[in-house]
């Protein structure tokens, strides 16, 4: 049942191109516009939305953080993202003009369920993004957009995460389309890029051998840091989470701009630091800033592991290890940038003799608050 792989996690990492393609299937029509018939919230209701609030836990929360960039950029609707476990306890401001999006692979996460119940009590509409047909979270929501990752068995979420991202992009683009923003042309272009993105994920998977080899050399380290900016920041958080739960190593993700406000004090000789570099096209200011961050940490002895777009030559002099990813539009980069981090964590866990599919103390679906 593991299809020739040693672990479900490896199988599920390999299934990502298909999971991504399946989640897009039938949702982009030949004219390039989006059809989301499972979203049972009418276009007129969607035009009235004044605020989007995303609630989720763990990896799904990281998908939500990335969704915020996409939603605010393409729709200009303010978007908040909150850990589901914190949400209802702070008396959040919600009403009938708030759209709450609950993201959950299992559809059974109690924290997320309680958050969405609270939102509905306040009169908000709830849209579930979920991978499990007929599970509790979609059943209790006003509408659902299913991710088509197929069953995810490994405790650590991989293919579900990528499909959650796809679903979030679809919602953002759809909201943009329904409400008609000034980004119309960009939305059309991104829909095209999205429909080709599974091939890019496939290409990343074909180049993962050096990442595995690198991971094995780090098996005796105690700490790994992850840096990113813009949508690369949640990717850094996700890379750190994967490493904690699988390799039982101390790992932290930071927004690279925060380095100088504290975390740079952690940098010491030979400390592995993974840096997710934004595209040099698009938001090139951010690219240049992160290149200086890489220079700064390397000057202080860090071992820099740089994830950068093909053709980005500016990073080459400062990368002790360079992991290439295909060029994508800025907002879509997490779909390709996360994959090496999954492979990295899986290989490190194996090298440390850990049980990859069943990390200690964790359960696949957390049905207690």
Active site residues: 364
Taking the complex as a whole, the smallest distance from the CB of residue 119 to ligand F6R amounts, in Å, to 16
Instruction: Choose one: 71-79, 104-112, 182-190, 287-295; the region binding ligand F6R (CB under 6 A).
Output: 104-112
Q: How many CB atoms lie within 10 A of CB 353?
A: 7
Instruction: Choose one: 12-20, 101-109, 138-146, 223-231; the region binding ligand F6R (CB under 6 A).
Output: 101-109
Binding-site member from 12, 24, 58, 312 for ligand F6R (CB under 6 A): 58
Residues with Cβ within 8 Å of residue 33, at least 6 apart in sequence: 177, 191
Question: 72: buried, middle or exposed (CB in 10 Å: 19+, 13-18, 0-12)?
Answer: middle
- Rounded to a whole number, what is the distance in angstroms from the first to the last CA of the chain? 32
The H or E element that residue 274 is part of is strand 272-276
Instruction: Choose one: 100-108, 171-179, 270-278, 305-313; the region binding ligand F6R (CB under 6 A).
Output: 100-108
Nearest residue to 276 (alpha-carbon basis) of 265, 287, 267, 284: 287
Nearest residue to 148 (alpha-carbon basis) of 22, 8, 13, 16: 22
Nearer to ligand F6R, 112 or 124 (CB): 112
Binding-site member from 112, 136, 163, 304 for ligand F6R (CB under 6 A): 112
Q: How many CB atoms lie within 10 A of CB 160?
A: 28
Taking the complex as a whole, the smallest distance from the CB of residue 284 to ligand F6R amounts, in Å, to 32
Nearest residue to 360 (alpha-carbon basis) of 246, 250, 249: 246
Residues written for the chain = 369
Task: Compute φ and ψ for 139, nearest 5 degrees.
Answer: -65, -35
Q: What is the edge-to-edge ordering of all strands in the sheet holding 143-146?
A: 79-83, 51-56, 98-104, 125-130, 143-146
Work out whether 57 is an interface residue with ligand F6R (CB under 6 A): yes
Work out whether 156 is an interface residue with ligand F6R (CB under 6 A): yes
When CB distances to ligand F6R are compared, the closest residue is 58
Nearer to ligand F6R, 66 or 297 (CB): 66
Binding-site member from 85, 98, 109, 124 for ligand F6R (CB under 6 A): 109
Work out whether 157 is an interface residue with ligand F6R (CB under 6 A): yes
Binding-site member from 105, 304, 350, 354 for ligand F6R (CB under 6 A): 105
Contact 169, 194 (CB under 8 A): yes
# residues contacting ligand F6R (CB under 6 A): 15
Taking the complex as a whole, the smallest distance from the CB of residue 131 to ligand F6R amounts, in Å, to 8
Q: Would you report the helix, strand and coil content of the chain in percent, each value rounded to 5? A: 50, 15, 35
Work out whether 85 is an interface residue with ligand F6R (CB under 6 A): no
Binding-site member from 195, 207, 358, 365 for ligand F6R (CB under 6 A): 365
Interface residues with ligand F6R (CB under 6 A)?
A: 57-60, 104-106, 109, 112, 156-157, 241, 245, 365-366
């Amino acid at each position: 049942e593991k299809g020739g792989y040693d672990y479900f996690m490896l199988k599920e990492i390999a299934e990502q191109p298909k999971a991504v393609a399946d989640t897009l299937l039938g949702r982009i029509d030949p004219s390039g516009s989006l059809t989301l018939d499972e979203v049972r919230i009418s276009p007129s209701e969607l035009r009235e939305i004044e605020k989007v609030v995303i609630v989720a836990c763990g990896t799904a929360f990281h998908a939500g953080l990335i969704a915020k960039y996409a939603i605010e950029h393409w729709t200009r609707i303010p978007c908040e993202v909150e850990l589901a476990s914190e949400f209802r306890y702070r008396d959040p401001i919600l009403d009938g003009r708030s759209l709450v999006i609950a993201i959950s692979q299992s559809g059974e996460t109690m924290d997320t369920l309680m958050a969405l119940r609270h939102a509905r009590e306040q009169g908000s509409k709830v849209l579930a993004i979920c991978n499990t047909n007929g599970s509790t979270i979609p059943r209790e929501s006003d509408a659902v957009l299913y991710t088509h990752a197929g069953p995810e068995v490994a405790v650590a979420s991989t293919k579900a995460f990528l499909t959650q991202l796809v679903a979030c992009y679809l919602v953002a683009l759809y909201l943009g389309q329904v409400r008609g923003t000034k980004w119309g042309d960009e939305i059309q272009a991104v829909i095209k890029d999205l429909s080709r993105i599974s091939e890019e994920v496939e290409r990343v998977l074909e180049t993962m051998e050096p990442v595995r080899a690198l991971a094995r050399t780090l098996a005796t380290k105690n700490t790994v840091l992850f840096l990113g900016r813009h949508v690369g920041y949640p990717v850094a958080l996700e890379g750190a989470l994967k490493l904690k739960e699988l390799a039982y190593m101390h790992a932290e993700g930071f927004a690279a701009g925060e380095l100088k406000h504290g975390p740079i004090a952690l940098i010491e000789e030979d400390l592995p630091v993974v840096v997710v570099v934004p595209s040099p096209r698009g938001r090139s200011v951010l690219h240049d800033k992160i290149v200086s961050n890489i220079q700064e940490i390397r000057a202080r002895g860090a071992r820099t592991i740089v994830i950068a777009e093909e053709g980005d030559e500016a990073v080459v002099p400062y990368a002790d290890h360079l992991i290439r990813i295909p060029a994508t539009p800025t907002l879509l980069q997490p779909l390709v940038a996360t994959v090496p981090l999954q492979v990295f964590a899986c290989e490190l866990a194996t090298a440390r003799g850990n049980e990859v599919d069943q990390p200690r103390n964790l359960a696949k679906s957390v049905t207690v608050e």
